Structure 1
Amino acid sequence: MRKNRVLAIVMAVLMVMTLIPSVVFASAAPSGALDGTLKIKGSATVGTTLSADYSKVKPEGITDDLVDFSWSLKDGDLLTEVSTDKSYKIDETAVGLPIVLKITGKEDKGISGSLTAATYEVSETEEEAKALAAQKKEEAKDSGKTEKAADSEDSSSETDPADSADTEAAGETEENSGSQNDSSEETGTDSQEFSYSAEITTEDGSGILDFGSAEEGYTVIPDAQYVSIKNTGTGELNFKNMSPDHFMVADIDDQPLKAGETTTAWIVPREGLSVGEYKDTITYETEEGVNISFEADFTVKEAQNADPGEIPDSGKDQEKTYKLSVADDNSELTFDTLTEGYEELETRTVTICNDGSENVTLVQPTADHFDVTPVTSVETEGNIQLASGEEQMFTIQPKKGLSAQSNPYEDEIVFSVEEDEAARATVTARVSVKEAVKEEPSVSVDPAEWDFGSLEQGYDTAPEAKTITVTNTGTVAVRLAQPTAVNYEVGTITSEVINPDESASFTVQPKTGLSANQYNGRISVKDIDGNTLTSVSVSFAVTEPQPVYDLSISPESLEFGTSEEGYKNAPAVQTVTVTNTGNTSITLKQPGSDYYIIGELSALELSTGSSATFTVQPKNGLTQGEYLEDISVFNSGNVSCYVNAHFSVSKKTVTANNLTGIKKPSDIKDLPNGTEKSQKALKLPSTVKITTTKGETKASVKWDVKGCSYNPSSADRQIFNVKGTVILPDGVKNPDNISTVIAVSVTVKAYKGTQAKETENKITGIDANGKYDTNSKITFTAVGAGMDNESPKKGDTRYLPGSWKITETRTWDAAPYTATFRVSKAGQYTLAVTFKQQKYNGSKWENTGSESSKKVTFNVSQAASVTATITPNPSVTGTITPNPSVTGTNKKSAVQTGDSTPIVPFAIILVAAAACIGGILVYRKNKK
């Protein structure tokens, strides 16, 4: 029996040990919305690595794996994201700027909301950082801010970096957030301290809310009264919920009350209070230790049991009086002078008092030139009810659309009651409306003048177009007409309407084909009605060309073949054409020859582009021999112009086929730059003409292309010779050892270069006139024209992004030309990117000194926040009934144990326990 008990104990112990990981070591993972104070570990100096400190962040147990990170440099209203890692190492680009850390909870891990913290401006050394912290501390003291106690571990604060120069901890509008409050040991700088204080005022300034009295068993609760609470400190206040015994009050728990802000809260007596006099001191408390109080008074009287047979006093002996008055003697209202076409209206208020003994029904007053509206009222069938001794507030403002006149508009506004026409109160309202001063449009152009230089008459390519920027320097929008010009091409203007401080642009370029002259003029910039607003002075000169004498002849050679000696019929006549390819007229002279018959020139005077012809034919009776002759056409321009004529006369008795000559191939001219170094690309002929004793034939040529000096990668103009060896056909002999090596001259044009256009520079990733909010991260990329030219040649140009600016200039040293930023303050901003022009010199890109700018304008709006409205009493029309508010803490999330205990050791224990039990059972069985 004892052995059985021992066995049972051992088994129980082992079983319990296997359960230890899930019972002892299990712990709930943190969940809920981020709250409390986020800190930054590390000194705000160059070279330091910063990280997040969660010691004062709620819920407890937050780790790096539960949040996302965003590290940004803060430049005024601009936040430029620099890292999304868990830590950030400060480099020199951050000097002089605060660093902002924002953590955002991962919803899939049960964490919501975000917190933000910031450092002081980054310093280069630790000593500078400490000096900056001391300076900030002194500035805080000088501005009247008190230091928070160093041991206050449970407080949190929040400031807006756009409103405070002493701290850069950015608060979030929609989410719970904390601010930086690091010790000098953690950040290397003294932290910003906050003061916490508030004041509370009642509507009459007495500090007491008097709700009067009611009889026991009352069912109508007195109307709600209000108190104003103002945060007079420098830190945010987080109010605690409360529930006084005798009064219902509005909780201030929808969001923290920022420094300098004011909120209102309602108070009403509770229903069903017993007889007694209640003078309660009601105190609002904050988590920061601030207490503010006011007194609320309410009396509950015993119910008066009236005799059922008693007739109540009819009041006949009491005289009824009806009287109205204007509070504070505010019966004269003079409004500020308006300008015709006004939109915004000034509003004044007047308070009408019921000074009579009876409740009255106010008649809604009307006026010709003013709108009169009750602020709040108790209405019955559309009429305003006003009890004796009570007041009714009205707003009065001028009506829209009043035209300008010399005298002010004046109305007598009469407040009366239905019960007595004599009971009246009068308010006189007056306002002046002046004529609107017509605002004249004003624009400027940049540049205001431009000289396109000069070109010779006959130019094929006009000077590069110039971009003219038109800027609205006035206060009214301008609708522009399309500029035009006679001798210039004017591009389409980029925007027809430009608002104040906005710009549009168009291009100007001289037309092609202009004759010699000076083309000076002004291109007017006009509005849509034809009014000239400004103009651009332009100039361009076309000069007379220098005399150029040049002739071309076609064909350049004449081949008449071979005839046997004693031939009777000369080869057929061939025609030669001479063309004037210069820009000046030329006079030709009749050519002559000893061996050829030259026909008369068809014309002797050749104007530019005109031609003349003559014929050539070998003479009869020529003896055996080679008749190779250059027939020249002499002229007044002394231009070399000849045609090479060849005719061969052979002996009849000759039977051998011997080489007698090789005809030189024509020169190859004007090949495009970069032509491939090959026979085909260089247009080298595969055969040439040769003459033999049996006549004329063709022979193939082997060209030494590799041996020529041509460089296909050169951007310069090249003239070179290509040598070739003539391969004689079968049966052709060369007994006279005539050289079979020939050469041809080849000309390759120079590379002109590809010019990148600045109009092709662009900014991507951000929308022109786009709308973003203050929580948006904006990422853009600058793309320069010609950036993708990976195989540049000498003379090519391109644009590279150099810098960008919204409030301050930031530069790029190398690709990628991308940046990310956020803007913490609403408004309209302009992103400007400067592109630098570069030119390739044959081995590297060099800056030309020319720059181009590209701009994108976008709008940033404040991220919306939601404020709940609470109605205190649904039974009274126009009052407010309190409703429970819903906050982010009401959200449910799945439970996570967070148990990271290794299970392998406990599995081993479980196996060992099973082995032990098995061994004991075997032992017992064997023993039995």
Structure 2
Amino acid sequence: MRKGRVLAIMMAVLMVVTLLPSMVFASAAPSGALDGTLKIKGNAAVGITLSADYSKVKPEGITDDLVDFSWSLKDGDLLTEVSTDKTYKIDETALGLPIVLKITGKSDKGISGELTAETYEVSATEEEAKALAEQKKAEEKTVGKTEDADAASDVASESSETVENENTEISEEGNESEAQTGDTEENSTPGTDSEASDENSDTDAATGDNAVVEVNGDSENNENAEAAQEETSESTAETNSSEKNTDAVQVDGNSDQQGNENKTEELTYSAEVTTDDGSGVLNFGTVEEGYTEIPEAQYVSITNTGTGDLNFKSISPKNFMVQDINDQPLKSGETVTAWAKPREELPVGEYKDPITYETEEGVQVSFEADFTVKAAEKKSEEKKDSSSESDDNGNQKGKFKLSVDNPDLSFETLTEGYEETETLTVTIKNDGTETVTLVQPDSDYFDITPVTSVETEGNIQIAAEDEQMFTVQPKEGLPAKEEPYADELKFSAEEDENTVVTVNAQITVKAAAEEKVSVSTDPSEKDFGSLEQGYDAAPDAVTITVTNTGNVAVRLAQPEANSYVVGKLSAEVVNPGESATFTIQPKLELPAGDYSGKIYIKDLDGTELDSVEVFFGVTEPEPVYDLSISPDSVEFGTSAEGYKNAPDAQTVTVTNTGNTNITLQQPESKYYTVGSFSTTELAAGASATFSVQPKSGLTKGEYLEDITVENSANVELYVNAHFSVTKKNDDNNDTAENLTGIKKPSDIKDLPNGTEKSQKALKLPSTVKITTTKGEKEASVKWDVKGCSYNPSSSDRQTFNVKGTVTLPDGVKNPDKISTVIAVSVTVNGYTGSKAKESDNKITGIDANGKYDTNSKITFTAVGAGMNNESPKKGDTRFLPASWKITETRTWDAAPYTATFRVSKPGQYTLKVTFTEQKYDGSKWSDIGSSTESQVTFTVSQAAALTATPSPAVTGANKKSAVQTGDSTPIMTFVIILVIAAVCIGGVLVYRKKKK
């Protein structure tokens, strides 16, 4: 027996294990088309991180991993995508624009379709975002619904209540009876629990302060359905008669029977509402009927006191406006504040309305709103007209009655010391049957004068149905005071003291304002930047506007400045509120220095009224050391040995072509007499001269010499001198050919910057001309290019000498030992910069005249000409993408110059990209103040509507397909265990039968 029990326990354990997959596979992974309402979590404020809220998205169970995201800024019809992450942190670029979230189902996860959600305009702070949300909701809320709308709402609520009573299974705590649905599962309406409720009805089947309701997902039978409905109806009546502030709801979708000891921990749903004074009542006071101003809103606080999230429904009480709190679920322990206030134009009555908020979980919280509209007090009846009466003899007496056309006179405010006053008129009419003698009123504040009149002994008489006009104006010299001067001007009939009409007149006299002399300048400061000394164009002038912000006219003196050109004032006299203008521009040829300061605005008396702060600097130029010599060679011809007169001296000029002073040293020569410099201190642009002449007594020979001019800047500078001396009696025979001289090659000028350092690139000749006793010949020359000072990587202008050695042709002798070393001057121009072309600016990623639909995400890239210049030199230019525009302008701060957008409205659009031109100054790129624009036109059409694909019905053809559950648990293992358990149980039964 003991063995049998052990074996039975083992078999039971195996059976329980085999049942585990039923729970694992009971919940299928969501699939199908997206539907319902997508929401965005988080307030639309800078710095806040937003995420998706799937609480009202179908199918249920949607998570971030099942959809793709697209966060965009909405600017009119333009949607600019800013992120495809699951969340989006708002930055300042979104300020003032709504944010649109679009989710698209992942087809490989079994989800199709798409949903969108949109925030209000992004605010700077979270507090401003909350205030904006409340304001928008208040504007969207329908104020003063019509009775038909209320009736329609009641009908809808009753209809929903009926559905709930028919389909929701409700039982009181501790009650064993359960009410089951009367419909089959195929006919049940999804979402009945959350939708079938009415804001003004309490349908919880519970009583007491803290009712508990269990909603079970399983139903066993239909025997008690009618009894449960009757019980629910009775409970509803009790709840309506005694409303409470706190309910609790427990939801358990897996409860099979009462008293289940293995039941999982249940979430509780409850809330409480409080008012500022703790009374639970918002008292809005009393107003008279016909009120036009609604009392200010008052607030209640609602706290989630349960453990589960609460999702509040929208409500719309009949006599009060309230704030919906259905933006997002209220989490456990959180508190939300909501406002309430009476509606407009409520009829006379006393309103003590319970306001009830209800959640989709069944929780209800209530507070009372009190408001009284009383009947308007009846105005005292006008004095009865003096009607016809009968005298003692029964004769009818006359009727006296006066009326006035303008009973209230309100004059424009005067300033103390006024000289002219406003005149108003009133007309008194005799509406009686008898002529009346009008008694004119007296006033301490007003003069009353008849326009025309019929006088009798100084009094004005008005016949029946006639009228008399009077002018009324304030008296002169009324002093200023805070309260207005008011008087009742009573016109009466001398014949009947009860016949009176009253005119109410009032005038305010304010104190004369103190004189205020004040002006303002716009702009109040201007930075002209800085320029290098020697600049030939001053910065552009700026216009300054001077506005009279005082209350008296001012006479302005012409502004002056030492370092600026100040334009003439457009007006000398400026009245209050008016303006005058003048211009400011830095002067030309200012030496290096800082010229920042203030230009004062003064009146003719020299009083300083305001100033304009200006900034401008002139920088020292980079020192440039350069000299030129002219001529760079002097030729003295040929003389016979023993010459008595040396060739005439020639003058050589040295010029400072740099921008810095240079000191020259006196040149020296072995074969030539060099005269003294005219000056040795050369300022920029200045010149000095010296003379060169062959010395006397030179013997036969060729005297080719570079006369070097040393200087403080170490600039290489020399003049090439040549003189030939022959023998008197030439012993050479007619067949001898001797060298008599070498002709210097011409200077090489204007070579392009960066020219290669080679003989060919520098255009150095391969031969030079020589003179011999038999004439001229060509001789080859070898140039020392490597030894010259030329730097091909420099961007500056360079002038340098290249020395060469002449090789004499065969048969040419050099008995006089003439120097065969020559030099040539070469000039390479400075770098002028590579200029980018506007036509090379491009917009890629979007097709010109392309066609897209409203679902298309368009991504483009702006490519500026010259942006690929990775090794720029001074003077290079490029175009940098700065901004783009379709409906509104968007800017780029840095690379990459790419943007993604969608257009929600069909039509033809033009994308425009602005490129800013920049120049490289040797160290950085700087804007030069010019820009250009490129554009692409494209067409957007309406995208085809998305249709959801229904899940296929289970048929014989597809019933073998596995159901997608989202769980990867290997089911085959459990199947094997189940088979083994069944075999074991069968074996035990057979064994026991045989044993018996």
Task: Please tell me the TM-score bracket, short chain as reference.
Answer: 0.3 to 0.5
TM-score by length of 1: 0.40
Structure index of larger Rg: 2
TM-score by length of 2: 0.38
